[in-house]
A = this chain, B = another copy of it.
Amino acid sequence: MEGNSRGLESADEVLRRRAERVVPGGMWGHMNVARLPAGYPQYFRSARGCRLIDADGRSYIDLMCAYGPIILGYGDEDVEAATAAQRRLGDVMTGPSEVQVELAELFVATVPHADWAMFAKNGTDATTSCVTIARALSGKRKILVARGSYHGAVPWCSPSLEGVTVEDRAHIVYFDYNDAASLERAADEAGNDLAAILVTAFKHDTRRDQELPDPIFARTARKICDAAGAALILDDVRAGFRIDLGGSWEPLGVRPDLSAWSKAVANGHALAIVAGVDRYRQAAARVYLTGSFWCGAVAMAAAVATIRKLSTTNAIAKMAAMGQRLRDGLTAQSQTYGFSLRQTGPAQMPQILFDGDADFALGNRFVVEAMKRGVYMHPWHNMFLSAAHTEADIDDVLEATDGAFRAMRKTA
């Protein structure tokens, strides 16, 4: 390894230096650790269960789960056995495989609002497809979107305006998440041109407290769509299968017309799902949606195995319980050490912010100290539990966070 011949540089530093030459900025997107405090490794060598090994061989309990895709644990044996069997047959071919039908049937049987399903590769593919299908059916154009919600990384919805034209967002009307009056005002603004309301499963914006959906807000969205003949689109890309196997708004009793899924649906294999009710079936068939790898059978076999395992085990309840164990432990530690935390959102998708920490100085210090003790946390993006996190793992996490709080108090 090049790193070994340069005594002062770590393997991670060597890789960053090499990448700086051949990748713009050295790295891009949500996994760019330039967004994180110094000390975060950029490169990883391997992963198994809930553990990551970085390029320098350091091991971490991972509370990010690849920013969501890993729901049963890295390299889950059942998922990998299913993908190995499919791989021996074929993956991307000149048409789909039987497993595509099997997955569509399983998804429709699992998710109550899904009368049909289609498959793609990115969460952005799924949200963009839902918007296009809604417009195709209604012939209307306006899409209501919550300010600050993340729906993908293309011009109509990117969090950045670099390279975006005004026309890319000409028909996006903004409201405030969980604010029914604001949603009604946006619908009034759209008037007779309302194609859809697009909402995330809960408010999981970065750098802010998370909020579960207010039932009044959710029912208002449903009511507006029903009155206007518009589509209620649930963006379940980030939360899908971590809250409820039937979709994240099932516990609320509010069902969408269309839904976008990705991340965890195939335990880390690249897959996205667009699902919907019968009313949108013909419009979905008319819109031209396609991609070179969208019928790849291996990712579909992974999704079938993932959904089967989620539905036949207590995986979701376990993730919630482990998240609660972490939350309770952190609450106790923060009180012991005199820090004030806000832990928001579903326990299995925790957001942990410090009070009075607008610049994230405390949060950054905390996660760096936790990382030194073998736990990979994020200072301002929600984290993710997987079914591979055991009580013993959470207790190891809490031992590390105890050390982190203690180190912070010493130097406070």
Does A25 reach chain B (CB closer than 8 Å)? yes
Does A285 reach chain B (CB closer than 8 Å)? yes
* Beta-carbon contacts under 8 Å, A66-88 to B: 66-70, 74-75, 88
Q: In whole angstroms, what is the CA distance A29 to B100 when docked?
A: 14
Kindly provide the distance from the CB of A117 to the nearest chain B CB, expressed in whole angstroms.
Answer: 6
Q: Map CB proximity to B onto A17-53 as digits: 1 under 8 Å, 0 otherwise.
A: 0110111110111110100000001111111100010
Tell whether A290 pairs with B66 under 8 Å between CB atoms, given A19-B101, A24-B281, A116-B23: no
Q: In whole angstroms, what is the CA distance A407 to B194 when docked?
A: 56
| Stretch of A204-212, A292-300, A316-324, A348-356 lying at the B interface | A292-300
Does A7 reach chain B (CB closer than 8 Å)? no
Q: In whole angstroms, what is the CA distance A120 to B13 when docked?
A: 24
Does A291 reach chain B (CB closer than 8 Å)? yes
| Stretch of A122-130, A182-190, A304-312 lying at the B interface | A122-130
Kindly provide the distance from the CB of A178 to the nearest chain B CB, expressed in whole angstroms.
Answer: 25
The interface residues of chain B lying within 8 Å CB-to-CB of A69 are 92, 292-293
Q: Map CB proximity to B onto A103-124 as digits: 1 under 8 Å, 0 otherwise.
A: 0110110000001111001111
Tell whether A22 pairs with B94 under 8 Å between CB atoms, given A162-B136, A162-B287, A287-B163: no
**Contact, CB under 8 Å: B293 / A121:** yes
Tell whether A93 pairs with B155 under 8 Å between CB atoms, given A133-B163, A163-B134: no
Total residues of chain A contacting the partner, CB 8 A: 107
**Contact, CB under 8 Å: A154 / B171:** no
| Stretch of A217-225, A248-256, A262-270 lying at the B interface | A262-270
Does A410 reach chain B (CB closer than 8 Å)? no
| Copies of this chain, whole number | 2
Does A15 reach chain B (CB closer than 8 Å)? yes
Kindly provide the distance from the CB of A297 to the nearest chain B CB, expressed in whole angstroms.
Answer: 9
**Contact, CB under 8 Å: A116 / B170:** no
Tell whether A270 pairs with B289 under 8 Å between CB atoms, given A23-B116, A66-B93, A101-B18: no
Kindly provide the distance from the CB of A164 to the nearest chain B CB, expressed in whole angstroms.
Answer: 7
Kindly provide the distance from the CB of A71 to the nearest chain B CB, expressed in whole angstroms.
Answer: 12
Does A167 reach chain B (CB closer than 8 Å)? yes
**Contact, CB under 8 Å: A52 / B167:** no
Does A149 reach chain B (CB closer than 8 Å)? no
Kindly provide the distance from the CB of A320 to the nearest chain B CB, expressed in whole angstroms.
Answer: 21
Q: Which of A41, A95, A98 has the most CB of B within 10 A?
A: A95
Tell whether A268 pairs with B91 under 8 Å between CB atoms, given A24-B118, A45-B97, A292-B67: yes
Kindly provide the distance from the CB of A138 to the nearest chain B CB, expressed in whole angstroms.
Answer: 9
Does A192 reach chain B (CB closer than 8 Å)? no
* Beta-carbon contacts under 8 Å, A233-292 to B: 237, 262-263, 268-270, 281-292
**Contact, CB under 8 Å: B31 / A96:** yes
The interface residues of chain B lying within 8 Å CB-to-CB of A27 are 96
The interface residues of chain B lying within 8 Å CB-to-CB of A55 are 97-98
Q: In whole angstroms, what is the CA distance A302 to B25 when docked?
A: 24
Tell whether A293 pairs with B281 under 8 Å between CB atoms, given A33-B95, A43-B97, A94-B66: no
Does A380 reach chain B (CB closer than 8 Å)? no
Pull 15 A–B residue pairs with CB atoms less than 8 Å apart, ordered by A: A22-B101, A23-B104, A23-B118, A28-B289, A29-B289, A43-B98, A43-B100, A52-B93, A64-B94, A66-B93, A122-B293, A158-B288, A163-B283, A262-B292, A270-B292
A-side interface residues toward B, CB under 8 Å? 11, 15, 18-19, 21-25, 27-31, 33, 41-48, 52, 55, 62, 64-70, 74-75, 88-98, 100-101, 104-105, 107-108, 115-118, 121-125, 128, 131-136, 141, 153-155, 158-160, 162-165, 167-168, 170-171, 237, 262-263, 268-270, 281-296, 299, 376
Given contacts A24-B281, A55-B97, A68-B292, 7 further A-B contacts (CB under 8 A): A19-B101, A43-B100, A44-B96, A91-B269, A135-B165, A153-B289, A268-B296
